[in-house]
């Protein structure tokens, strides 16, 4: 901001006209306490000529008090200083986001992580699309994958060797060299870490822009993000989440016992469909985005209890090199057992952390996870993107180091839970 140029003498004349005047009797013209204004100090404007005219004292023969040059200079300097401070404050507090886009990464108070955040896009509240993030230098991991001190971005996806064109879009596949999408897209985790491990999956992302952006930007990177198959711009969200270091799942809707009152939508796997139709629906889901390690089964209390229809679906997942995370409702699910039998990497949800979505309820769910993990060594919790969720997860995650517990991506939990 350009500050206006202000002359000290001109400002002094203005201030002098506002100061109180009084008469001194018996003063000599040479009195040192009062100084005449030299012609050089006079202001040429019409308004200031009036001040000079008032300087004559016709009645008392005395002189009117004038501020000294020193007082004028001090007052003018103070006034200019106030203007400078005000301008600096405006620039600091009112500047645009562009002024700080290139600043160094700052510490994330909730997770203890250092995150190099991408620049914001032009749309209010939106993060930059992946094409703008491609050249953004990521943080360099220097302290190991489990410390949470540094958050490196995950490699860009899709890997051309790990996708194929299907009728419903690009689908994951096992590469010719044997690499699987699970191996390629998993967040690194040091398997030698012997602390009890807690995996958190945030489900249903992508439907709310605000909730999705908050989860990507503010949650600790070891937390796994699961995107809803019905959300839009999933490839954009997936790229941004991986740039922030998060491992991904895609939600796979299944028929619940409350169907059709609770309709899981047109991609849902149903008990009334043939296996081929359910696999085609699953491929529709898988084609919505790329860069994920597997699927999170949602709803599904009816579908998940039917071994005859679950097995073909899980076999198709194995053939694509993915992981299966069972988040179905009810205690009758057969998915984890079948996955173990066919060699499909699997995990299952131990605790729905936000079954009571209040602040106290989420805290109680997290405390339940801590209690279980000390008995079982590994546990998985799922939460939904409620507004209070980010705050509570950040605060809780910051306490795990002191409790000798560690957050792990869900891929690090694969095949480590005992079947119920």
The number of angstroms, rounded, from the C-alpha of 325 to the middle of its chain's C-alpha atoms is: 25
Count the helix, strand and coil residues of the chain and give each as a percent rounded to the nearest 5.
35, 15, 50
Over the Cα atoms of the chain, what is R_g? 35
Tell me which residue of 306, 339, 304 sits closest to 323, measured CA to CA: 339
- In this structure, of 8-17, 94-103, 149-158, 406-415, the range with the lowest mean pLDDT score is 94-103
Work out the mean pLDDT of the chain and round it to a whole number: 77
Q: How far apart are CA 92 and CA 28, in angstroms?
A: 53
- In this structure, of 76-85, 139-148, 403-412, the range with the lowest mean pLDDT score is 139-148
Q: Is 129 exposed, middle or buried (0-12, 13-18, 19+ CB in 10 A)?
A: middle
Q: Is the pLDDT of residue 80 over 80?
A: no
Q: Is the pLDDT of residue 92 over 80?
A: no
Model confidence band, residue 23 (pLDDT cutoffs 50, 70, 90): very low
Question: What pLDDT sits at residue 365?
Answer: 97
Sequence-separated contacts (24+) of 171-176 with Cβ below 8 Å? 171/283, 171/286, 171/287, 171/320, 172/286, 172/290, 172/292, 172/320, 172/321, 172/322, 173/320, 173/321, 174/319, 174/320, 174/321
DSSP code, position 102: T
Q: Is the pLDDT of residue 30 over 70?
A: no
Q: How far apart are CA 285 and CA 155, in angstroms?
A: 22
Q: Is the pLDDT of residue 91 over 60?
A: no
Quick one: average pLDDT of 80-92? Answer: 55
Report percent pLDDT > 90 for the chain: 58
Quick one: average pLDDT of 275-280? Answer: 96
Block residue for tokens 């009062």: 34
Q: What is the pLDDT of residues 311-338, one digit of tens each?
A: 999 999 999 999 999 998 777 899 999 9
Q: What is the pLDDT of residues 187-244, one digit of tens each?
A: 999 989 999 999 999 999 999 999 999 999 999 999 999 999 999 999 999 999 999 9
Beta bridge partners of 412: none
Q: How far apart are CA 172 and CA 309, in angstroms?
A: 22
Highest mean pLDDT among 50-64, 81-95, 287-301, 326-340: 287-301
Q: Is the pLDDT of residue 284 over 90?
A: yes
Question: What pLDDT sits at residue 69?
Answer: 61
Residue 418: cis peptide before it, omega within 30 degrees of 0 = no
The token pair that represents 58 in the structure block:
């016709």
Question: What pLDDT sits at residue 34?
Answer: 36
The token pair that represents 93 in the structure block:
């507090």
Report the predicted TM-score, pTM, of the whole model to 2 decimal places. 0.67
Report percent pLDDT > 70 for the chain: 64
Question: What pLDDT sits at residue 146?
Answer: 54
Highest mean pLDDT among 36-40, 130-134, 152-156, 286-290: 286-290
**Torsion of Cα atoms, 352 then 357 then 359 then 360, to 10°:** -70
Beta bridge partners of 226: 249
- Coil, strand or helix at 383: strand
Count CB neighbours of 384 within 10 A.
15
- 267-283 as b/e, with b when 16 or more CB fall inside 10 Å? bbbbeebebeebbebbb
Question: What pLDDT sits at residue 113?
Answer: 37
Question: What pLDDT sits at residue 382?
Answer: 97
């Amino acid at each position: 901001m350009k500050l206006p140029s202000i002359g000290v003498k001109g400002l002094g004349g203005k201030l002098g006209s506002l100061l109180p005047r009084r008469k001194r009797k018996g003063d000599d013209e040479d009195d040192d306490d009062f100084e005449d204004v030299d012609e050089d100090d006079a202001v040429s404007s019409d308004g200031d000529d009036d001040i000079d005219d008032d300087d004559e004292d016709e009645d008392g023969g005395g002189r009117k008090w004038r501020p000294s040059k020193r007082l004028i200079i001090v007052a003018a300097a103070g006034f200019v200083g106030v203007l400078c401070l005000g301008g600096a404050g405006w620039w600091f507090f009112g500047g645009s986001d562009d002024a700080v886009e290139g600043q160094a990464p700052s510490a994330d108070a909730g997770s203890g992580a250092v995150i190099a955040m991408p620049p914001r896009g032009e749309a209010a509240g939106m993060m930059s699309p992946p094409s703008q993030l491609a050249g953004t230098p990521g943080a360099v991991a220097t302290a190991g994958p489990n410390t949470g001190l540094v958050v490196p971005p995950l490699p860009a996806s899709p890997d051309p060797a790990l996708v194929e064109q299907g009728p419903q879009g690009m689908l994951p596949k096992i590469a010719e060299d044997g690499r699987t999408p699970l191996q390629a897209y998993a967040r690194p985790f040091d398997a030698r870490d012997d602390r009890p491990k807690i995996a958190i999956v945030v489900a249903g992302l992508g439907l709310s822009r605000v909730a999705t952006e908050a989860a990507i930007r503010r949650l600790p990177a070891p937390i796994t993000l699961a995107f809803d198959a019905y959300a839009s711009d999933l490839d954009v969200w997936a790229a941004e989440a991986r740039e922030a270091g998060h491992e991904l799942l895609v939600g796979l809707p299944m028929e619940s016992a409350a169907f059709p009152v609770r309709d899981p939508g047109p991609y849902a796997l149903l008990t009334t469909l043939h296996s081929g139709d359910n696999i085609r629906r699953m491929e529709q889901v898988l084609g919505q985005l790329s860069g994920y390690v597997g699927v999170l089964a949602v709803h599904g209390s009816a579908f998940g209890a039917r071994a005859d229809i679950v097995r073909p679906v899980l076999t198709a997942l194995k053939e694509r090199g993915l992981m299966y995370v069972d988040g179905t409702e009810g205690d009758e699910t057969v998915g984890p057992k079948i996955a173990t039998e066919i060699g499909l990497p699997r995990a299952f949800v131990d605790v729905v952390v936000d079954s009571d979505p209040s602040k106290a309820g989420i805290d109680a769910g997290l405390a339940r996870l801590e209690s279980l993990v000390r008995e079982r060594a590994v546990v998985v919790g799922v939460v939904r993107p409620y507004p209070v969720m980010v705050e509570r997860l950040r605060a809780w995650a910051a306490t795990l180091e002191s409790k000798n517990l560690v957050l792990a991506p869900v891929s690090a939990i694969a095949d480590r839970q005992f079947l119920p």
